[in-house]
């Protein structure tokens, strides 16, 4: 079934606003535009590639425990399953446009190279991303959007492959990946630490330590972030917050609202959804 085009805007106090939708374009999981004055993202993980451009101000962020900045002149690419946060680097906040791209958009071997250097000082690439956002804001131009996205991905691949390969995996990485896969499979119903330790044949403390060392966040923080991501998709599909809370694994709507606001700076009730 084709994905219906959805565009809506949620306002926040002090001039902040959020606009998000899911276009009918293969490879694009979500388009997200935001102007934040005082919101700071906590450390979190996406299951998709994050392609970001800044239109006003600047953003400071830590990616895999290393500090970086996103400027108006560059393109920022954050890989999936790598922890990062985000906050304004200027008193007046920042304005950004983001494309969340499916993991299949870029090869997994490029993740390490994106971690090392997430900022791409490439004016031509930034111009292409800018024009893609303009096309995505116009329903009916999906074919043009797919063509523009193909050129962007090709340029990203070529730039990333010119960099040196990332180093080897840290100790405990395999165990951490298996726990991550287990949490992904049990995002809604959840799992106890004891059950996870039994399934993975590891001591609970070692399991938490290995996961945190490999992914930069503890397992419970990762699971909450995955539930917030699921809630975003459900809201964009038109589900009401009260239904979304249970469907995404939260105890109730208040539980969802508390975490959703912390991650995205806006409540689920005011997050964009079909009108």
Domain covering 8-161, topology:
Jelly Rolls (2.60.120)
Q: Residues 80, 259: contact at Cβ < 8 Å?
A: no
Q: In this predicted model, what pLDDT tens digit does every residue of 96-108 receive, in sequence order? A: 999 999 999 999 9
Q: Is 147 left (phi over 0), alpha (psi -120 to 50) or beta?
A: alpha
SS3 248: coil
In this prediction, residue 35 has a pLDDT band, given cuts at 50, 70 and 90, of: very high
SS3 78: strand
Judge whether 8-161 and 173-270 match in fold. no
Q: Where are the domains of the chain?
A: 8-161, 173-270
Mean pLDDT for the chain? 89
How confident is the model at residue 165, as a pLDDT? 62
| Total-model pTM | 0.82
SS3 104: helix
How confident is the model at residue 168, as a pLDDT? 52
SS3 32: strand
In this prediction, residue 13 has a pLDDT band, given cuts at 50, 70 and 90, of: very low
Q: How far apart are CA 223 and CA 191, in angstroms?
A: 10
Q: In this predicted model, what pLDDT tens digit does every residue of 233-261 receive, in sequence order? A: 999 999 999 999 999 999 999 999 999 99
Closest residue by Cα to residue 83 from 97, 62, 100 = 62
| Residue 275, both tokens | 């009108």
How confident is the model at residue 11, as a pLDDT? 44
Cα dihedral across residues 245, 248, 260, 235: positive or negative = negative
* pLDDT over 70, % of the chain: 90
> Which range has highest mean pLDDT (62-66, 121-125, 162-166)?
121-125
How confident is the model at residue 6, as a pLDDT? 44
Q: In this predicted model, what pLDDT tens digit does every residue of 61-94 receive, in sequence order? A: 999 878 998 988 999 999 999 999 999 999 999 9
Q: Residues 237, 202: contact at Cβ < 8 Å?
A: no
SS3 51: strand
How confident is the model at residue 175, as a pLDDT? 93
**CATH homologous superfamily for 173-270?**
Homeodomain-like (1.10.10.60)
Q: Residues 101, 154: contact at Cβ < 8 Å?
A: no
pLDDT for residue 162 is more than 90 = no
Closest residue by Cα to residue 191 from 234, 232, 223, 228 = 223
């Amino acid at each position: 079934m084709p994905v219906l085009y959805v565009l809506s805007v949620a306002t926040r106090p002090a001039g902040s606003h959020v606009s998000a939708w899911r276009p009918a374009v293969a490879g694009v999981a979500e388009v997200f535009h935001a102007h934040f004055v005082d919101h700071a993202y906590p450390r979190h993980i996406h299951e998709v590639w994050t392609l970001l451009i800044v239109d006003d101000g600047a953003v400071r962020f830590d990616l895999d425990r290393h500090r970086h900045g996103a400027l108006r002149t560059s393109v920022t690419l954050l890989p999936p399953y790598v922890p990062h946060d985000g906050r304004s680097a200027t008193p007046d906040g920042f304005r950004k446009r983001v494309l969340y791209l499916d993991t299949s958009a870029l090869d997994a071997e490029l993740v390490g190279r994106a971690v090392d250097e997430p900022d791409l000082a490439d004016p031509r690439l930034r111009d292409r991303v800018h024009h893609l956002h303009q096309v995505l804001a116009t329903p009916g131009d999906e074919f043009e959007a797919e063509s523009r996205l193909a050129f962007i991905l090709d340029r990203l691949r070529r730039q990333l492959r010119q960099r040196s390969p990332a180093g080897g995996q840290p100790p405990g990485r395999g165990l951490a990946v298996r726990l991550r896969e287990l949490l992904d499979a049990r995002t809604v119903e959840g799992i106890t630490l004891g059950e996870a330790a039994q399934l993975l044949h590891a001591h609970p403390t070692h399991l938490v330590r290995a996961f945190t060392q490999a992914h930069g966040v503890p397992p419970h923080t990762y699971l909450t972030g995955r539930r917030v991501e699921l809630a975003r998709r459900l809201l964009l599909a038109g589900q009401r917050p009260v239904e979304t809370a249970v469907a995404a694994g939260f105890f109730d709507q208040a539980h969802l609202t508390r975490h959703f606001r912390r991650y995205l700076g806006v409540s689920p009730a005011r997050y964009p959804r079909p009108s």
